[in-house]
Amino acid sequence: MSRAMRPDGEPAFFADYVAAGGYEGLARVLRELQPQDVTQAVVDSGLRGRGGAGYATGRKWSTMPVVADAPHPKYVACNGDEMEPGSIKDRYLLGRNPHLLVEGMIVAAYAVQADAGYIFLRAQYDHPYACLERALAEARAAGYLGDRIMGSDFSFEIYLHESIGRYICGEASAMLNALESLRPNPRARPPHMTGAGLFSRPTVVNNVESYAAVPGIARNGAAWWKSLSASPEGGTKIYGVSGRVAKPGCLELPLGTSLRELIEVHAGGMLPGYRLRAVVPGGASTAFVPAADIDVAMDFESLAHVGSRMGTGTPVLLDDQTCPIGMTLNMLQFFAQESCGWCTPCREGLQWSAALLRDIEEGRGRMEDLDLLAEQVWFMGPDKTFCDLAPGAMQPLEAALRLFRDDFVAHIESGACPYSRGGSEVPVEEGATWAEPEPPAGPPEPPAAPLAPAGGAGR
């Protein structure tokens, strides 16, 4: 996926991309393969979705109707709503190699015989947006998009759509609502999106990085993709490391590279004076992995064995001088704020969990609160809410209660946060119901509500 990337860090556009073998996969597919063969190649590659859930990409495609009398139009949609805290890989891919997504989507569209594609991009991705806009124009000019692509009888167009904001739009079915300009609540399933998705038409939704893996598989085959891996799961992964390390950033590596190698070799190790405490391996909805377990391979199965998930595969590190409870509170507050409010356990439960956690962090906690929090983890577990937002929010909380018990007790017994980074530094959003507002210094002013309703808190 990094082949065409320029060493100077500038985006690789058409000339760079083609020089690195770009659009050869598409040419081969249109020349040699039936649509079902393309889907079969993706099935054989073992590619699993890179957006967080890890669903088998080829299996998803194979549920699209491709028979002669299949309903049209059909759609392919790309989830580029990279908003889960800690996730930095799609920005990297799109800013460095935007044609990869374009080619991946065209190949996918051929495989499922789609008529149009949408790239749903989060609002703050101005640079990726500009890169994609140019890549799409170049692809159109070269005849890779539009009517009768490369002389075949396959026609396809891609549209860019910028989000109006909010994390829930990254939930695939909520994203379809957002694309239709409906209120972006998640949809009930069934029906599945490949049966009735965007505009009630058969739709495949994949993450940016999932599509980005497709051109290589199209060009070199499933066996090649599998051989790149350090794991039986096959292929490569865009990993990204953030936190107090020497060289934070993104890098493509064999899937299954160990967390230790990522941190100590590729990210240059911890900064002097800091020790690693735990890792959030793939976004705020993945459970902390303790420092003792960092020999784990960063793949789907191995991370499950240490009680966590691959998620987006972009670890954020917790160091020994940052309050683990403050960090967990920050994550929980994110989910509470970004809940769409559609179902009660998520809308109410996340607010309450954050309030309990804030009490503990700020020295007002009681030992019973730990039991209450554990109950919330159960109440908002898998299959008890309308979508996966609340269960995702519970993953770091569950891990924190398990791994940082001593810290919780220390906060409660001493009535304060013992860390320099934590406590009063936790951001408090305007209008939050659980925090006492600080008395304003000087003459009283009218209360300032946020211009943009970033928070659902207190609303």
**252 contacts other proteins (rule: CB under 8 A):** no
Phi and psi at 190, nearest 5°, equal -70, 165
Torsional sign, CA 231, 232, 233, 235: positive
Q: Which is nearer to other proteins, 171 or 233 (CB)?
A: 171
**119 contacts other proteins (rule: CB under 8 A):** no
Segment near other proteins (CB under 8 A); pick from 56-64, 96-104, 216-224, 330-338: 330-338
State the CB neighbour count (10 A cutoff) for residue 368. 10
User: Minimum CB separation from other proteins for residue 116, in Å?
Assistant: 9
Q: Tell me which of 46, 170, 235, 243 binds other proteins, using CB under 8 A.
A: 243
Q: Which is nearer to other proteins, 8 or 32 (CB)?
A: 8
Residues listed for the chain: 459
Q: Which is nearer to other proteins, 22 or 326 (CB)?
A: 326
**261 contacts other proteins (rule: CB under 8 A):** no
Q: How far apart are the first and last CA of the chain?
A: 43
**96 contacts other proteins (rule: CB under 8 A):** no
Segment near other proteins (CB under 8 A); pick from 45-53, 137-145, 211-219, 426-434: 426-434
Hey, which residues between 174 and 203 contact other proteins (CB under 8 A)? 178-184, 199
Could you tell me how many residues of this chain bind other proteins (CB under 8 A)?
A: 68
Spatial CB neighbours of 385, under 8 Å, sequence gap ≥ 6: 343, 345, 346, 391
Q: Which residue has the tokens 């356990």?
A: 345
Please work out, in degrees rounded to the nearest 5, the angle formed at the alpha carbon of residue 376 by the alpha carbons of 282 and 406: 70
Q: Tell me which of 280, 298, 356, 432 binds other proteins, using CB under 8 A.
A: 280
Strand partners, 238: 252
Sheet with strand 289-290: strands edge to edge? 289-290, 276-280, 316-319
Peptide bond into 73 cis (omega under 30): yes
Segment near other proteins (CB under 8 A); pick from 39-47, 60-68, 163-171, 224-232: 163-171
**449 contacts other proteins (rule: CB under 8 A):** yes
Q: x/- string (CB under 8 A) for other proteins, residues 309-328?
A: -----x-x-xx--x---xx-
**78 contacts other proteins (rule: CB under 8 A):** no
User: Minimum CB separation from other proteins for residue 109, in Å?
Assistant: 16
User: Minimum CB separation from other proteins for residue 125, in Å?
Assistant: 7
Report the C-alpha gap between 172 and 296 in whole angstroms: 29
Using alpha carbons, select from 442, 457, 450, 345 the residue that is nearest to residue 393.
Answer: 345
Report the C-alpha gap between 231 and 251 in whole angstroms: 17
**299 contacts other proteins (rule: CB under 8 A):** no
User: Minimum CB separation from other proteins for residue 135, in Å?
Assistant: 17
Element (H, E) at 117: strand 116-121
Burial class of residue 147, CB neighbours in 10 A (0-12, 13-18, 19+):
exposed
Report the C-alpha gap between 373 and 354 in whole angstroms: 9
**98 contacts other proteins (rule: CB under 8 A):** no
Q: Is-contact 189 63, C-beta < 8 A?
A: no
User: Minimum CB separation from other proteins for residue 247, in Å?
Assistant: 9
**241 contacts other proteins (rule: CB under 8 A):** yes
Segment near other proteins (CB under 8 A); pick from 43-51, 80-88, 101-109, 219-227: 80-88
User: Minimum CB separation from other proteins for residue 91, in Å?
Assistant: 4
Q: Tell me which of 125, 154, 211, 288 binds other proteins, using CB under 8 A.
A: 125
Q: Tell me which of 4, 39, 58, 90 binds other proteins, using CB under 8 A.
A: 90
User: Minimum CB separation from other proteins for residue 293, in Å?
Assistant: 20
Q: Is-contact 328 397, C-beta < 8 A?
A: yes
Instruction: Give 322's DSSP letter.
Output: B
**103 contacts other proteins (rule: CB under 8 A):** no
Q: Tell me which of 161, 260, 364, 402 binds other proteins, using CB under 8 A.
A: 161
| Residue 13 token pair | 């556009």
Which one-letter amino acid corresponds to residue 212?
A
| Residue 430 token pair | 């305007």
DSSP per residue, 210-264 = HHHHHHHHHHH-HHHHHHT-SSTT-SEEEEEEBSSBSS-EEEEEETT-BHHHIII
Segment near other proteins (CB under 8 A); pick from 210-218, 238-246, 384-392, 399-407: 238-246
**429 contacts other proteins (rule: CB under 8 A):** yes
Q: Rule CB under 8 A: which residues touch other proteins? A: 73, 82-88, 90-91, 122-127, 159, 161-167, 178-184, 199, 240-244, 248-250, 280, 284, 314, 316, 318-319, 322, 326-327, 330-331, 334, 337-338, 421, 425-427, 429-430, 448-455
